[in-house]
Structure 1
Amino acid sequence: MIYLPGHDQPDLAPSRHGSEMSETLVKKHSERAERRISVTVAARLRRLAPLLVAAAMLNSCQTVMDQSYQPSVSPSANPQIVSEVQKNDPRAQMGAREHPRILASYGGEYKDAKTERLVARIAGALTSVSENPQQSYRITILNSPSINAFALPGGYLYVTRGLLALANDASEVAAVLSHEMAHVTANHGIERQKREEAEVIASRVVAEVLSSDLAGKQALARGKLRLAAFSRQQELQADEIGIRTLGQAGYDPYAAARFLNAMEDYSRFMSANSDADQSLDFLSSHPSTPQRIDLAKAHAREFGEEGKVGDNGRAYYLNGIDGLLYGDSPEEGYVRGQTFLHGGLGIRFDVPPDFRIDNKVEAVMATGPGDIAIRFDGVADTQNQNLTNYISSGWVTGLDPSSIKPITVNGMPAATARASADRWDFDVTVIRDRTQIFRFLTAVPKGNIAQLNQTANVLRSSFRHMTPEEAASLKPLRVRVVTVKPGDTITTLAARMMGTDRKLDLFKLINAMPTGASIAVGDKVKIIAE
């Protein structure tokens, strides 16, 4: 977490929150899980996720108003600074209350000293010329591949590492941060909080009238999504203030419009991936329109002609993100083709051919031909429960008790069962590994028992411990900044990309290369590699 107290130097002492996010598959985070219930992932998962998450089979989600996340925020090693920020400031207290929930929804804090210094440098330049230079900011880089940034009252600013990977220079990140700072200085969050309190009351009424806890949860989840965005008027006001701050700080004021275009390009790229989840991305809560981009350019013209005013800070920016984690984090495991691997948990499994895996904070989801769906997650178990009793303990609805039977999966105790709900048949498999119970839930359209058996058998037979050699060789993907050499072309550089089957498209996207773009020897470009 980066702390910017007015003009002081940033305190880069590590936060105590990041380590809490490491048990991703074993300790699920309720708010993001609830958000998934009402906004499912993608075209195909939109049909299947209610089946796998809400229709039941897993009744362990908590309400989005769960009070288990207590505000124990300590972003700085300097207690004097923290106490001064929190002192008699209800806005900072509001931000502190929500901060742990933000961390839970976005995979925790991303800690990297070089990247923190980069963001601190950008934010510090903006703070000195902002409308309220005395406002202190607590900037957290979130450990999420989503493309997002947002603000909470009291100066809590958030930017994801996914956004940093997409941006191509410092001015683009400065444009995003100045926009979010403008929401803080304009007190937009206070207005939103008042609306949210009204929404909470309404959702409680829904729960009481319908006598359904699930109905209340879903109503509240929908309300939170509606309230996640500021009003259009507030967004346009933040654009104007942010671009003015951007230009006064000496950055390229046209970067705001440029990066809005880049994020729209990213959104189109991800929409071609039917399993991609965009519910936590910038454009889901910051709607971008041609009119908004035109207005951004109009505000920028007040500083001069495009290309002739402001610094973009590209050189030091690329140096600052070289080595940035990209895509899946080690805490959440990795997807490699048809295989999911988690070095920390020491486990791996395969999905059948033609299945696509989507690795999320709360679970691993996979979809295959014929509307077959898989969900995999894990829960802590220190009681050493009997697994056949665990399956029948109430978290599976539509369960056929006569189908429960104990088995062994590659030397680990396990149990299986069958269930039915609506138009679907399910296989439920639970496997114990030390103090964890891992759970597979496989769903097929009712009557397709052969497909259900085949899919569940692949999961069970392939689930095993990783070897030490496998765990040691498992490396995350990172942003690598390379220099164009003689003989390099866009095609040859794109061929070096890892983690995607659309290498050329992603290479052009992360380097902001339109159709017909060219490269020259000595240019710096980004690739995704180990």
Structure 2
Amino acid sequence: MNQRNSFGYRALALSVLLGFSACSRNPVTGKRELSLMSTEQEIAVGKESHPSVVASMGLYDDKKLNDFINQKGKAMAQISHRPNLPYQFYIVDSPVVNAFAVPGGYVYFTRGIMAHFNNEAEFAGVLGHEIGHITARHSARQQTGQLLGTLGMIGGAILVPQLGQNLDALQQGLQVFMLKYSRDHESESDKIGVEYSSKIGYDAHQMANFFSTIKRISDNAGQQVPDFLSTHPDPANRNTKVNQMATAYQQQNKGNYQVERDRYLRMIDGILYGEDPRQGFVENDMFYHPELRFQFPVPKGWQHQNSPSQFQMAPKDGKSAMILMLAKGNNLDEAAKTLAQELSLNVLESQRTTINGNPAYVLISRQQAQQQQGQQQDPRTALQIGTWLIQYNNAIYALHGLAAANDFEGAYRSFRPVAENFRALTDSEKINRKPERVQVKAVPRDGTFKDAMSALGMPANRLEELGVLNSLRPNDRVARGSLIKIIER
């Protein structure tokens, strides 16, 4: 969470313009199909959405990496099915392992995924996959538009998947950012990724290998979703299919396909890893923000996710959530009024108070959902929000607790201690905390990956995490002098 970024509750609706429809030929499939979005509209969507992506996630400042993705991106764009789009490529400042594309040619990689690639060919495969979403016009082929919200839950990286099941109103009310594609579209983009990455000279088998990394991350996070319930195909199945497609392509198109492991590893040497403590971090059930100098507790067992624009957390049952962000307004009264207007809130209760010496305002509200004519909102499932507006260090922070109305009373007992323990951060060790970074080292001697990590001083309890980062298992053999990634401050 970073005060310098644009905050607020503004969300940009990326809706498909339905003023006219026409049949056109899909540039990838060659089939004629109903077009709900013109090329000009796709480009406009990209331009309009980009500032919100930057405000929500921030950009990662690394010239050599940004030059690299732009060089490869432009080379791939030229051999794509739509070379005339104004492609732009960015690395966003997020530890989440992900990449995503926006219509009109905007492609984003998180620094988290850049840290987890182990060669240029893995990157090129994912780059081709994302450009494939654009060239195949997958967004235009969706039945509805996509919402670019302020929650920062990109693609499949959802903090608590159950929120969508238990609180539909929460997703609607918070304009959750979900750039999702159907499983068929994902599979189609995998095929395009094999083709595009191969055409610029990379071995697409490495793209398949990266799906193994994705599966390990998913399995370790306990986020397995049955294939028939998921918007993305199972990573293990994708590994197999992409390997088959890569083999078939190379048999039909003989060539010298590159991997470029060492060159890539040297390029990411020093990349930021995990959460940037300057933007806030959680330790021992407490959220600390060194730059903004505040702290507050995180309820035990709650999952959490941080971004430059906000901090969010929720229990594993998915029945409630809390979100911290900056409020609009020069004073508490103005902030409360703006909040109610922009989120269409019906304020049920309001009270002035102080929280650890800071002027504050407490609101209990219910969101007024948009209903179809003749339908009544069920008050039991309506979204209810407890908001603490806290004036601190020349800013006003909004700490929201959200739950369905019939769950709100119980959830409020968890929300209140969090808000009432918002206080100044004075611990110098927390204020001066340094970020972790990926460091690239030479393996000191022949042996197993586990032996190499031990020799390089890595703790045993991070062996699996380091294994995911390197795409290696504990007993995999590594050769003396080969490059390997470790994590250091």
Please report how far the alpha carbon of residue 252 of structure 1 lies from its aligned counterpart in structure 2 after TM superposition. Answer: 1.7
Please report how far the alpha carbon of residue 360 of structure 1 lies from its aligned counterpart in structure 2 after TM superposition. Answer: 4.5
C-alpha deviations, 1:250-289, integer Å up to 9, x for none?
322211211122212222222269xxxx9xxxx9754345
Task: Note if contact 1:477-1:528 (Cα within 8 Å) is conserved in structure 2.
Answer: yes
Please report how far the alpha carbon of residue 314 of structure 1 lies from its aligned counterpart in structure 2 after TM superposition. Answer: 0.8
Aligned to 2:219: 268
Choose the corresponding residue for 1:193, options 124, 140, 154. Answer: 140
Aligned to 2:94: 144
Q: Distance in 2 between matches of 1:369 and 1:291?
A: 28
Please report how far the alpha carbon of residue 183 of structure 1 lies from its aligned counterpart in structure 2 after TM superposition. Answer: 3.8
Q: How does 1:416-455 map onto structure 2 within 5 Å?
A: 429-441=388-400, 452=413
C-alpha deviations, 1:443-470, integer Å up to 9, x for none?
8967779x938x7456534621446x45
Please report how far the alpha carbon of residue 350 of structure 1 lies from its aligned counterpart in structure 2 after TM superposition. Answer: 3.2
C-alpha distance 398-135 of structure 1, shift in aligned 2 (>3 A): closer
1:228 aligns with 2:175: no
Q: Distance in 2 between matches of 1:239 and 1:413?
A: 53
C-alpha deviations, 1:442-498, integer Å up to 9, x for none?
68967779x938x7456534621446x45751222322222333598255279736x
Q: Distance in 2 between matches of 1:272 and 1:217?
A: 19
Q: Distance in 1 between matches of 2:173 and 2:422?
A: 39
Code of the aligned partner of 1:218: Q
Any idea what SS the aligned residue of 2:207 has? helix
Any idea what SS the aligned residue of 1:489 has? helix
Q: How does 1:235-250 map onto structure 2 within 5 Å?
A: 235-250=186-201
Code of the aligned partner of 1:452: R
Q: Distance in 2 between matches of 1:436 and 1:133?
A: 46
Q: Distance in 1 between matches of 2:385 and 2:110?
A: 36
Any idea what SS the aligned residue of 1:192 has? coil
Please report how far the alpha carbon of residue 525 of structure 1 lies from its aligned counterpart in structure 2 after TM superposition. Answer: 1.9
Aligned to 1:27: 7
1:295 aligns with 2:251: no
1:92 aligns with 2:43: yes
Q: Distance in 1 between matches of 2:212 and 2:243?
A: 12
Please report how far the alpha carbon of residue 324 of structure 1 lies from its aligned counterpart in structure 2 after TM superposition. Answer: 1.6
Q: How does 1:324-473 map onto structure 2 within 5 Å?
A: 324-329=271-276, 332-351=279-298, 356-360=303-307, 363-367=310-314, 375-380=322-327, 382-385=329-332, 399-400=348-349, 404=351, 406-409=353-356, 411-415=357-361, 429-441=388-400, 452=413, 456-457=416-417, 460-461=420-421, 463-466=423-426, 469-470=428-429, 473=432
1:120 aligns with 2:79: no
Q: Distance in 1 between matches of 2:458 and 2:206?
A: 28
Aligned to 1:59: none
Code of the aligned partner of 1:478: R
TM-score (norm 2): 0.68
Aligned to 1:158: 108
Please report how far the alpha carbon of residue 162 of structure 1 lies from its aligned counterpart in structure 2 after TM superposition. Answer: 1.7
1:489 aligns with 2:451: yes
Please report how far the alpha carbon of residue 135 of structure 1 lies from its aligned counterpart in structure 2 after TM superposition. Answer: 6.0
Aligned to 1:173: 123
CA RMSD of aligned residues (A): 4.8
Task: Note if contact 2:314-2:322 (Cα within 8 Å) is conserved in structure 1.
Answer: no
Task: Note if contact 1:29-1:104 (Cα within 8 Å) is conserved in structure 2.
Answer: no
C-alpha distance 521-132 of structure 1, shift in aligned 2 (>3 A): same
Question: Is the helix fraction higher in 1 or 2?
Answer: 1
Any idea what SS the aligned residue of 1:345 has? coil
Code of the aligned partner of 2:87: Y
C-alpha distance 461-125 of structure 1, shift in aligned 2 (>3 A): closer
Choose the corresponding residue for 2:210, options 250, 254, 259. Answer: 259
TM-score (norm 1): 0.63
Code of the aligned partner of 1:475: K
1:507 aligns with 2:438: no
Task: Note if contact 1:417-1:428 (Cα within 8 Å) is conserved in structure 2.
Answer: yes
Task: Note if contact 1:495-1:504 (Cα within 8 Å) is conserved in structure 2.
Answer: no
Please report how far the alpha carbon of residue 433 of structure 1 lies from its aligned counterpart in structure 2 after TM superposition. Answer: 1.0
Please report how far the alpha carbon of residue 99 of structure 1 lies from its aligned counterpart in structure 2 after TM superposition. Answer: 2.7
Any idea what SS the aligned residue of 2:295 has? strand
Q: Distance in 2 between matches of 1:271 and 1:181?
A: 29
Q: Distance in 2 between matches of 1:373 and 1:433?
A: 26
Task: Note if contact 1:414-1:432 (Cα within 8 Å) is conserved in structure 2.
Answer: yes
Q: Distance in 2 between matches of 1:180 and 1:426?
A: 37
Please report how far the alpha carbon of residue 429 of structure 1 lies from its aligned counterpart in structure 2 after TM superposition. Answer: 4.0
Task: Note if contact 1:479-1:529 (Cα within 8 Å) is conserved in structure 2.
Answer: yes
Task: Note if contact 1:348-1:465 (Cα within 8 Å) is conserved in structure 2.
Answer: yes
Aligned to 2:433: 474
Code of the aligned partner of 1:300: A
Aligned to 2:26: none
C-alpha distance 171-179 of structure 1, shift in aligned 2 (>3 A): same
Task: Note if contact 2:327-2:339 (Cα within 8 Å) is conserved in structure 1.
Answer: no
Any idea what SS the aligned residue of 1:271 has? coil
Please report how far the alpha carbon of residue 340 of structure 1 lies from its aligned counterpart in structure 2 after TM superposition. Answer: 1.5
Please report how far the alpha carbon of residue 390 of structure 1 lies from its aligned counterpart in structure 2 after TM superposition. Answer: 7.1
Please report how far the alpha carbon of residue 417 of structure 1 lies from its aligned counterpart in structure 2 after TM superposition. Answer: 7.0
Aligned to 2:371: none
| Gapped regions of structure 1 (runs ≥ 5) | 1-20, 32-61, 66-87, 201-213
Aligned to 2:28: none
Code of the aligned partner of 1:27: F
Any idea what SS the aligned residue of 2:437 has? strand
C-alpha distance 220-477 of structure 1, shift in aligned 2 (>3 A): closer
Q: Distance in 2 between matches of 1:464 and 1:198?
A: 42
Aligned to 2:172: 218
Code of the aligned partner of 1:460: E
| Gapped regions of structure 2 (runs ≥ 5) | 16-38, 148-167, 367-378
Aligned to 2:24: none
| Count of residues in Structure 1 that have an aligned counterpart in Structure 2 | 420
Any idea what SS the aligned residue of 1:432 has? strand
Any idea what SS the aligned residue of 1:175 has? helix
Q: Distance in 2 between matches of 1:100 and 1:294?
A: 37
Task: Note if contact 2:14-2:145 (Cα within 8 Å) is conserved in structure 1.
Answer: no
Q: Distance in 2 between matches of 1:91 and 1:392?
A: 31
Task: Note if contact 2:42-2:104 (Cα within 8 Å) is conserved in structure 1.
Answer: yes
Task: Note if contact 1:387-1:406 (Cα within 8 Å) is conserved in structure 2.
Answer: no
